[in-house]
Copies of this chain bind each other. A is one copy, B any other.
Amino acid sequence: MKTDKIYFGAAYYDEYLPYDRIDQDMKMMKKAGMNVIRIAESTWSTLEPQEGIYDFSHLDRMLDAASQYGLDVIVGTPTYAIPTWLAKKSEDILALTEDGQEIYGRRQNMDLTSPVYLKYAENIIRVLLEHVHQHPRVIGYQIDNETHHYHTAGPRAQAMFVDTLKDQYPDIQDFNHEFGLDYWSNRVNDWSDFPDVRGTINGSLAAEFEKFQRKLVTDFHHWQASIIEEYRRPNQFITHNFDFEWHGYSLGLQPDANSYDSAACMTVAGGDIYHPSQSKLTGAEITACGNILRGLKRDNYLILETQAQGNIEWLPYPGQLRLCAYSHLANGANSVMYWHWHSIHNAIESYWKGVLSHDFSENATYREAMKIGDELQTFGDRLKNLQKKNDVAILLDHESLTGLKQFPVGSLGAAGYNTIVRWIGDALYRANIEYDMIYTQDMHLDEYKLVFVPALYSASEDTLNRLAQYAADGGHLVVTFRSGFADEHIKIYSDTQPHILHQCLGINYNQFTIPEDVSLDCHFDTAASGAGVHEWMDLVMPDTAVSLADYHHTSWNRYAAVTENRYGAGTAYYLGCYFDTDALDSLISYIARNASIECSNTRFPVIIKKGINDYRHMVWYYLNYSSEIQTVTYKGGPGHQLLDNTDVQSEEELTLHPWDLIIIEEK
């Protein structure tokens, strides 16, 4: 979705304020150049304090203020946190999970299959939409918020799951065979014998149940969207605030929802990206997670939440708030919205601080937001709807994520999949190679010169054949360890590994281990030799491939670690192990050169991003992710520096101040 401006703003909760501040806050927002607020999400209990009793006062105050101050409004459906009275309605509203029965208190613990929950949720959505949909400042709707499946596993959900298995497997013997249930006498000879899936030791069955749970989220999103469609005006969008696997901050693909499938019912993808700050700020999350969002609809996206002050340890150094805001835009976002405007005075997120602290005064963070707002009012029009055209893609897959949660790589644990994806993605980021995230549901491989396939543990034969064909057709394919190992039900393939791909890769292996005192002997770059190998190593035997790196170890040195193979018109690489990033950086350069990918000599901490703006001009961002001054040679055509309003020539030396940036629009 294209927007007519960059949206800059924050979530705003009149409901949570200790006293009436709407006028003061709107004035402060305007002063900071903000133009949008997000409201209503999570406020069910103030909107419907008792069943069927509605209170629109907060909503109306905010909409009136938005009109008065000329702010746009995104309205969220309030369904992800239920009121106390609703929790008392039925015992099945809160999820029953592996850890037992949820009790009331926190958000996001309901059972998405509960008819009682769904009935009241539909009602409040309709009541809300009816009330707001004609308001001229309402530009769009957010479905729920960060919806997950909440690990729901009660009897109703499990019965629904068994029904999906019955549909897939008319003959129960096929089911037993594909899932390998004979093991440890877990065979199910009659569907009525189906045991509580929470106890299963069968990774295939556990993964299938997680897939089913993700589908519950997809269905819930499509159901909410269908209700909103009855009300929304044509120029009002539907979005969702997608979140990411959480590791104290946004890590990567969200395991507990299938964002790609959910996004199909939406006008525009939205999301929240949170990241380390201060000396740990690298911008890597803004790119990796931003690319996930951009891939959901292959279009620009909205940042509906990101940190202002955020967690206590995230308080940004001077310059960092602004650097991050532009990094989002440089990556294809059309909005930067903070969670949240004001810090909260009670409850669990009191120290997840907003733009304003608890005292509502102008603080250092607010003052930096003012600077951003001022600049965006000046030249935001040159930055919006940035079109990205990348030659490189990373392939993502939810079932592989689940597979590697069931069967972890070394000590990487449940986060192994995203860790490996980020291992690849962050190396591209450091090399200033911009890339797309694509999904196995929609493999438009032919648009790319170079495709990375990290840890595609679970893959159908169709997927694997298409990857091989991509290489045969001239593509550059990079496959890592743990790819093509198991089928779509996490059943391990029982012939030569990697299944199907071994032909295009020109290698095979039948053993692997966890490396101990193993390093690489690198032929693609002898300087990279000595890099440590960690967590996983396939004992690779090249067939037609040539070895790019071997293992340095007394017992394993007969095996290859990294290989390259000409296949048809293309080239296929295999990365048989997880190794130090220095060597990966070098390997990525080697591969990129082979694939004729445009490579910059400039590397992280200076990040370069670019895209085409609405005026068909190329816009270049040079972002300094360090506390040192950096110099860099500008590689675009003659242009105009937007921030200081000066001209710049090609090959001109640019000076970047700490945590600062330069934006150049080519002429």
Contacts and interface: CB of A to CB of B under 8 A. Distances in A.
A206 to B, nearest CB: 9
Contacts of A103: 195-196, 198-199
A131 interface: no
Interface in A496-534: 496-497, 510-514, 516-517
Interface in A52-86: 78, 81-85
Given A85-B193, A182-B46, A204-B346, A361 B496 contact: yes
A494 B81 contact: no
Q: Most chain-B Cβ atoms within 10 A of its Cβ — which of A13, A49, A363, A512?
A: A49
B189 A85 contact: yes
Main secondary structure of the interface of A (DSSP, over half): loop
Contacts of A18: 177, 180, 491, 494
B16 A407 contact: no
Stoichiometry, as copies per complex, reads 3
A497 B356 CA distance: 13
A43 interface: yes
A636 B82 CA distance: 69
B186 A510 contact: no
Interface string A346-363: 111111000001111101
A195 B89 CA distance: 12
Contact of A46 (B84, B185, B357, B495): B185
A586 to B, nearest CB: 27
Contacts of A193: 83-85, 88
B510 A104 contact: no
A600 to B, nearest CB: 28
A493 interface: yes
Nearest to A515: B313
A584 interface: no
A276 to B, nearest CB: 11
A492 B347 CA distance: 10
A103 to B, nearest CB: 4
B199 A106 contact: yes
A201 B105 contact: yes
A495 B359 contact: yes
A518 B2 CA distance: 45
Given A18-B494, A81-B185, A106-B184, A511 B357 contact: yes
A44 B494 CA distance: 25
Interface in A331-390: 343-351, 357-361, 363-365
A333 to B, nearest CB: 26
Contacts of A194: 84
A190 interface: yes
Contacts of A181: 45, 346-347
Given A16-B183, A195-B84, A358-B493, A363 B46 contact: no
B347 A183 contact: yes
Interface string A307-336: 001001111011000000000000000000
Contact of A490 (B346, B364, B516, B517): B346
A106 B42 contact: no
A58 to B, nearest CB: 9
A13 B185 CA distance: 12
A259 B427 CA distance: 55
A355 to B, nearest CB: 11
A260 interface: no
B348 A201 contact: yes
A651 to B, nearest CB: 32
Contacts of A555: 278, 317-318, 627
Given A18-B494, A315-B511, A199 B104 contact: yes
B554 A348 contact: no
Interface string A36-53: 000000111110011000
Contacts of A496: 359, 361
Given A199-B103, A407-B350, A180 B87 contact: no
Given A190-B85, A312-B514, A107 B346 contact: no
B45 A185 contact: yes
Most chain B C-beta atoms within 10 Å of own C-beta, residue among A49, A85, A186, A365: A186
Given A84-B189, A84-B195, A189-B84, A184 B347 contact: yes
Interface string A480-498: 0000000000111111110
A187 interface: yes
Interface in A269-316: 278-279, 309, 312-315
A83 B184 CA distance: 8
A185 B44 contact: yes
Contacts of A627: 554-555
A346 B46 CA distance: 49
A357 B106 contact: no
B511 A365 contact: yes
- Best-buried of A85, A309, A496 by chain B (most CB within 10 Å): A85
A542 interface: no
A210 B182 CA distance: 33
Given A103-B195, A359-B494, A180 B16 contact: yes
A185 B490 contact: no
25 contacts: A45-B182, A46-B187, A78-B185, A81-B186, A84-B186, A84-B187, A84-B195, A104-B199, A105-B186, A105-B195, A105-B196, A105-B199, A106-B199, A106-B201, A107-B185, A202-B346, A204-B346, A279-B516, A312-B410, A343-B492, A358-B493, A359-B493, A359-B496, A359-B497, A363-B511
Interface of A: 13, 15-16, 18-19, 42-46, 49-50, 78, 81-85, 87-88, 102-107, 177, 179-190, 193-196, 198-204, 278-279, 309, 312-315, 317-318, 343-351, 357-361, 363-365, 407, 410, 490-497, 510-514, 516-517, 554-555, 627
Given A46-B185, A105-B198, 19 more contacts: A81-B184, A82-B185, A83-B185, A84-B187, A105-B196, A107-B184, A180-B346, A183-B349, A186-B347, A278-B513, A314-B513, A315-B512, A317-B554, A317-B555, A345-B493, A359-B495, A360-B494, A361-B496, A361-B510
